[in-house]
Amino acid sequence: MQNVTIYSTPTCHFCQMAKEFFKANNVAYTEYNVASDLEKRKEMIEKSQQMGVPVIIIGNDLTVGFDKPRISKLLGVA
């Protein structure tokens, strides 16, 4: 299984949807709360070139937003 990282905020609806999708598909992930972790917020902006969340990294692929078809394809889940 590829490494999965999500940069999120507690109030982000799409972040919650992404995390629920990961849990439903038994995908382990590392989460960074960019509302409170300034270093991870800076890291997210450097990687994605924007401030929108969620930013999801699967292996070497970066996705901004909860793009379920793309995320499913990258993870190899239906």
List per-block mean pLDDT (blocks of 10 residues) for the chain, which spans 78 residues: 93 98 97 98 97 96 97 93
The answer to pTM > 0.75 is yes
Contact in structure between 66 and 59 (CB atoms under 8 Å): no
Alpha helices (H) in 1-78, listed in sequence order = 13-24, 38-48, 68-75
Write phi, then psi, for 47 (nearest 5 degrees).
Answer: -75, -40
* Residue 69 to residue 77: CA distance in whole angstroms: 10
Domain layout of the chain by residue ranges: 23-75
